[in-house]
Structure 1
Amino acid sequence: MDSSGDSELCDFCRLPIPDDPITMGRDSTVYEFCTEACRDAMVESDRAFTEYHGFRRIRTGVSGLDSFLPQGFPRNSFVLLANDEGARDDALRAELVWRALERDEPAAVVTFTEPPISVVEGFLSLDWNVLPYLESGQLHIVDCFTYRMDDRDRERMFERMDEWNRHIYDITKSVTQTVRDPSDVSELHNKLDNCLEALSMSDCGVVVVDSLTEFGTLVQPVQAYNFVKDIRADVCKGRFVPIFAGATLTAEEGDFPHDLGYAVDGIVDMQVNGNIVEDTLIKRIRIRKMNGVLAIPEWVAYEFTAGKGLVTFDPIAEMSDTYEGGERESDEDGESDESARREASSENADSGEDGDREESHVQTDQ
């Protein structure tokens, strides 16, 4: 019987036993349980839990998020990435996928605003080579973009591709689920489900959606809300797979999807702020909400660097360092200028004395 502090823990589920324990003896060892169900499960199972798992918490792998989620985040979460234009939420979604792939977990990208080739190019531009993961089938794409083109347009697009893009297309096509009509929420839901089944995605992996804002333009608001609630129930709560969905802020902040706060488990704000440093737009990120764990809702400035992903920094300190460095250079330049002026003055003085001597010599000769 293990214990943690003053609390005795159930020998099966590892939760504290609040009342008199239910005991069971086996091979001269007495086991204690919090419920009869745990005792019976212990009899039927060949092993016990080594710790309480609950809704398993994981790390995103994105340093700028994890530092403000000291307990991680529950795997069964639907997280809204609410962003301003120019906040580079596409790079954040790419990093969330890349970190999952690095953990040897599967990932799925649902794209409304870009064709699959552009999605892949987005990873490559950040120095994250996802081609091996596409070839192995660890990364899949649900294509909700190319429905905009008819068969003739698709043929024309393929003819216009250069050799490199055709190479990416060949690697990507086998792991792409194409949605013929994204406004048909039933088809969209089925294609996403097929994708997750192909990846055997349960209690592992991650799903990212590039734009709920774009999706909201394709369907009626009631359909949009119901779709988000349905995939949250099916994917996040049913499969224990987190979803990170982007949503660009617009002037009408009361419309879908910006009033989804009550229906999602987490909200990450990505802001472009022009009031921190004069004449400069600074990107800032914070975790506004994350159910079930401690979240520190503090704004932090960030930028994306190829190979590293999201990097945080202090813009005021950066500007101070730059300003102080400029002052030092200015002082050094000033000292150099003053020294040059002194040298020039000295040379002029010497030149004047020589001239006086020459003039005096001439007068004497006369």
Structure 2
Amino acid sequence: MSVERIVTGIKVLDNLLPNGIPRNSFIVIAGPGGSGKSFLVVNIAKQFLLRNEPAIYVTFDEDPLTVASIISSIGVDLYRYLGDKLFMIIDGYSFRIKDREGKMHIAVVEEVDPQNTEQVLYTVMQTVDRIDIRNRGVIVIDSLNEFLSYHEHHRVAEFIKNFRANIAKYRGILTLAILHTSTDKAKQLLTLVEHVADGIILVDRLIKDNTIVKSIIIQRMKGVEHKLMRLEYTSIE
């Protein structure tokens, strides 16, 4: 059986991937701070929601209220998709908050602790199985850096391998994992997992004529043709 190829709905990305990407891919989106990684994946998640496919946001860097606000700010009718059980947050941020009562947002379906990689993986597995997500939807991990705060590179790489096997491959769910490469530790992780991930997308930003310009290049994408060029853009619409 062949694996379905899908488009992201983001012009600058789809231009580089003219034949789409395999649905069962685990893709790392890497770059320095401020290069537009989170904004890119949020807009990809929006495109999935517009196709009535589920989007699960596993957040470690931001609290669920901020994630929900960002999603709403790009024109997503959040409460519609909450009602249809298409948008969900798995909260890996709020374990830090002391004396907290209840979940931080109605979109939160589970809470996890990045100090326990097995708990994170099994919680995601249980969530997608409970609502029967197979061969559709997208999962965002924002970001892998939080795991580096608690674990050595090889442990984080093992988590990525297990997540890819159980979520992307076995359940056929596109997974987008953000990696901020502003530190040597993060750069080392990227080098370590380059052969593991199905795709590596590098983003950056620069200033041209007093305008902030973003750039994107597909460093690796298994199983599909991709253009070997760097594209610059100011808008992802």
TM-score (norm: length of structure 2): 0.92
Shift of 1:254: 4.3
Answer yes or no: is 1:259 the counterpart of 2:192: yes
1:236 aligned residue: 168
Match of 1:303 in 2: 234
Shift of 1:191: 0.9
Q: Take 1:250 and 1:178, find their aligned partners in 2: how far apart are those partners?
A: 27
Q: C-alpha separation between the residues in 2 aligned to 1:204 and 1:131?
A: 21
* Structure 1 unaligned blocks of 5 or more: 1-52, 159-165, 305-309, 312-366
Cα distance in 2 for residues equivalent to 1:55 and 1:246: 24
CA contact (8 A) 1:135 1:172 kept: no
User: Tell me, what secondary structure is at the counterpart of 2:17?
Assistant: coil
Cα distance between partner residues in 1 of 2:200 and 2:60: 20
Equivalent residue runs for 1:1-12 within 5 Å: none
- Give the alignment partner of residue 32 of structure 2, picking from 84, 87, 99: 84
User: Aligned in 2, Cα 1:258/1:112: closer, same or farther, shift over 3 Å?
Assistant: farther
Deviates more, 1:249-258 or 1:75-84: 249-258
Aligned residue for 2:217? 286
Larger RCO, structures 1/2 (Cα 8 Å, 6+ apart): 2
The answer to whether the aligner puts 1:248 opposite 2:180 as a matched pair is: yes
1:1-366 alignment to 2 at 5 Å? Answer: 54-150=2-98, 152=99, 154-155=100-101, 169=105, 171-173=106-108, 176-179=109-112, 181-252=113-184, 254-274=187-207, 277-304=208-235, 310-311=236-237
**What one-letter code is carried by the residue in structure 2 that aligns with 1:246?**
I
Structure 2: where are the runs of 5+ without partners? none
**In the alignment, is the contact (CA less than 8 A) between 1:265 and 1:289 conserved in 2?**
yes
Give the SS at the match of 1:256: helix
Match of 2:136, SS state, is coil
What amino acid maps onto 1:194 in structure 2? Q
Q: Which amino acid aligns with 1:102?
A: L
Code of the residue aligned with 1:289 in structure 2: it is: R
Partners of 1:93 and 1:122 lie apart in 2 by 11
Amino acid at match of 2:216: I
CA change 1:279–1:303 in 2 (3 A) is: closer
Residues 29-82 of structure 1 show CA distances to partners (whole Å, capped at 9, x for unaligned) of xxxxxxxxxxxxxxxxxxxxxxxx511111111111111111111111111101
Determine the C-alpha separation between the residues in 2 that align with 1:59 and 1:280. Answer: 29
Query: Displacement, 1:115?
Result: 1.3
Which letter does structure 2 place at the counterpart of 1:230? Answer: N
**Residue type at the aligned position of 2:81:** Y
Shift in Å, 1:220: 2.6
Q: Deviations over 1:326-351 (max 9, x none)?
A: xxxxxxxxxxxxxxxxxxxxxxxxxx
Aligned residues: 236
Aligned identity (percent) is 28
